[in-house]
């Protein structure tokens, strides 16, 4: 249940960020940004 709450928090923050900036990222861009390849 705690993980669901954390996921919801991240989701709501992501939506707010998108609405304020209009910028969305692909999974490839996120992998590159966080050097996860």
Q: Tell the residue number behind the tokens 């709450």, with chain if given.
A: 5
pLDDT for the residue 36: 67
Range of the domain at 10: 1-36
Domain count, the chain: 1
23 Cβ contact list (under 8 Å, min separation 6):
17
**pLDDT over 80 (residue 28):** yes
- Are residues 24 and 18 in contact, defined by beta-carbon separation less than 8 angstroms? yes
**Angle (CA) 36 5 21, round 5°:** 60
Model confidence at 33, pLDDT cuts 50, 70, 90, reads confident
Residue 31's pLDDT is what?
87
Q: Please check whether residue 16 is in contact with residue 24, taking contact to mean a CB–CB distance below 8 angstroms.
A: no
pLDDT tens by residue, 1-21: 889 999 999 999 999 999 999
């Amino acid at each position: 249940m705690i993980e669901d709450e954390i996921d919801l928090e991240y989701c709501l923050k992501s939506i707010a960020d998108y609405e304020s900036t209009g910028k969305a990222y692909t999974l490839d861009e996120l992998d590159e940004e966080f050097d996860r390849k």
